[in-house]
């Protein structure tokens, strides 16, 4: 009989490393980006996320676990008995690939001890680590006096429709964690809401240029890495050569990459920034607002285009706490508002669309934020704003037994001092009244979530799996 109090968890995980990597690599090879163009009733966010979820369940069925699938949206692995329900919530969908990869994002490779693939750290790697921890415990003979549900979703990176469907058909856990963030713990998550701005095409006026096309951003929760624009020269005396020189100077002054060319009176432009998670916009370089900032220095034949570029380039560019829109606020525990301009689009026939994503602490709310933004928009005649659906701030006190146990396990296995944390990112943990996020990145890990060349260090994967194993054992006793 195993003496679980004496187990060297990392040693047990390392013995089974090849098995762990085989299952993870199988899932990483599945392109599970949401694809609305291929969506249908059977695949509401496209076929990739559902396939990854079903393949995850097949692995669990192969290993002898009881599983259940909830429509095309979510799946569950079950073990244990008891009155209380312990939930572990992960996801199989991933953000779009974007540009700038040095490897095939869906052909995982281990290079210098790092697993490169889209989803390696967000969230297939951590979810497989939690599953493998559960499997390890069962194989070692552990018994559980609580029911454990490991739940995987397919729409975490966009609308969370998967969890809406799941909890319409299944029981809410009494407590649990989501392996989708950082150690030592995330026991607080800011609220999440997007401001949706529409820009009317506007009336015609005299100007040097006509903005024919502008596009930047893949998701509201990603800092745009790429931006493109197309313009036509309207003024007879416009100096195209000076325009190109000025653009190159702008790129040089801001250490940016990009190109611009002029052919038959049409200017084509692109700019490359750096992607980052939308909850930490200061870690990225927003290609869209940079391109708009440069273009805002010229005049346009439609005042809608003029206001679109001026708002992006002069009001929100370089502002990460929402102060330029009057929505900045700070809570002593949860910290400051963060602001990410995630989607920017303009075409003469449709006008413009801007999605600004906010992560906000306790002490403010979307209604207050909307009022402040509307005040700032009084100087713009062509721009209107509405607030989308929102998620409220979530916090589990540091003295909660769940938090205390998880921090104790972390300290025991790492020797590092545990402490509570609040993030701007949102995880499934917030769905549970007593839910927290727990790993799989460590304080010294490089965070590449939502970026090109996403990776998870192999050592971190093994360490996280060991921590999950002991944590699950402790929480289910």
Residues labelled as active-site residues: 93, 156
User: What would you report as the CA-atom Rg of the chain, rounded to the nearest whole angstrom?
Assistant: 24
Quote the tokens at residue 292.
């708009």
Name the residue among 338, 364, 428, 393 with its Cα closest to residue 188: 393
Bond preceding residue 184 cis, omega within 30 of 0: yes
**How far is it, in rounded angstroms, from Cα 283 to Cα 278?**
9
**How far is it, in rounded angstroms, from Cα 102 to Cα 176?**
36
Return the DSSP state at 103: S
111, containing H or E segment: strand 109-111
Name the residue among 88, 97, 158 with its Cα closest to residue 129: 88
- Are residues 393 and 360 in contact, defined by beta-carbon separation less than 8 angstroms? yes
CB atoms within 10 A of CB 443: 12
Name the residue among 299, 289, 204 with its Cα closest to residue 250: 289
Q: Are strands 435-437 and 175-178 parallel, antiparallel or unpaired?
A: parallel
Q: How far is CA 81 from CA 36, 135, 248, 269, in A?
A: 39, 16, 65, 61
Strands (E), 348-416: 351-360, 383-391, 394-395
Please state the φ and ψ torsions of residue 417, each to the nearest 5 degrees: -70, 130
374, containing H or E segment: helix 366-376
Distance from the Cα of residue 286 to its chain's centroid: 16
Classify 305 as helix, strand or coil: helix
**How far is it, in rounded angstroms, from Cα 414 to Cα 9?**
12
Give 55's contacts (C-beta < 8 A, 6+ positions apart). 26, 27, 30
């Amino acid at each position: 009989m195993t003496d679980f109090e004496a187990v060297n968890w990392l040693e047990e995980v390392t013995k089974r490393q090849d098995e762990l990597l085989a299952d993870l690599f199988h899932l990483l090879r599945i392109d599970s980006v949401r694809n609305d163009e291929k969506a249908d009733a059977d695949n509401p966010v496209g076929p990739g996320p559902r396939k990854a979820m079903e393949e995850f369940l097949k692995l669990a069925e192969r290993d002898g676990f009881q599983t259940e699938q909830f429509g095309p949206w979510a799946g569950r692995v079950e073990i244990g008995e008891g009155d209380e329900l312990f939930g572990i919530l992960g996801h199989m969908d991933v953000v779009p690939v974007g540009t700038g990869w040095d490897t095939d994002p869906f052909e995982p490779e281990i290079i210098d001890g790092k697993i490169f693939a889209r989803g390696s750290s967000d969230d297939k790697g951590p979810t497989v680590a939690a599953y493998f921890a559960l499997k390890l415990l069962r194989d070692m003979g552990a018994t559980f006096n609580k029911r454990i549900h490991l739940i995987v979703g397919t729409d975490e990176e966009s609308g969370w429709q998967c969890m809406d469907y799941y909890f319409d058909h299944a029981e809410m856990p009494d407590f649990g964690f989501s392996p989708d963030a950082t150690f030592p713990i995330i026991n607080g998550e800011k609220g999440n809401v997007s401001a949706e701005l529409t820009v009317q095409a506007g009336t015609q006026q005299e100007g040097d240029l006509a903005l024919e096309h502008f596009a930047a951003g893949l998701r509201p929760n990603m800092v745009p890495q790429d931006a493109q624009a197309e313009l036509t020269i309207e003024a007879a005396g416009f100096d195209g050569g000076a325009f190109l020189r000025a653009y190159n100077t702008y790129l040089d002054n801001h250490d940016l990459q990009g190109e611009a060319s002029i052919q038959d009176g049409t200017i084509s432009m692109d700019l490359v920034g750096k992607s980052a998670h939308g909850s930490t916009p200061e870690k990225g370089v927003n290609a869209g607002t940079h391109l708009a900032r440069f273009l805002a220095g010229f005049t346009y034949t439609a005042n809608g285009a003029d206001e679109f570029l001026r708002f992006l380039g002069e009001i929100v560019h370089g502002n990460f706490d929402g102060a330029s829109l009057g929505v900045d606020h700070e809570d002593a525990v949860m910290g400051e508002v963060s602001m990410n301009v995630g989607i920017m689009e303009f075409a003469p026939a449709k006008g413009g669309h801007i999605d600004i994503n906010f992560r906000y602490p306790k002490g403010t709310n979307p209604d207050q934020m909307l009022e402040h933004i509307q005040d700032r928009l009084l100087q713009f005649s062509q721009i209107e704003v509405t607030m989308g659906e929102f998620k409220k701030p979530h916090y589990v006190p540091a003295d909660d037994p769940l938090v205390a146990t998880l921090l104790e396990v972390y300290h025991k296995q790492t020797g590092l001092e545990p402490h509570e944390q609040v993030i701007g990112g949102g995880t499934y943990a917030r769905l549970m009244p007593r839910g927290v996020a727990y790993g799989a990145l460590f304080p010294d890990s490089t965070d590449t979530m939502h970026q090109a060349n996403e990776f998870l260090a192999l050592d971190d994967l093994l360490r996280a799996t060991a921590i999950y194993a002991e944590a699950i054992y402790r929480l289910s006793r």
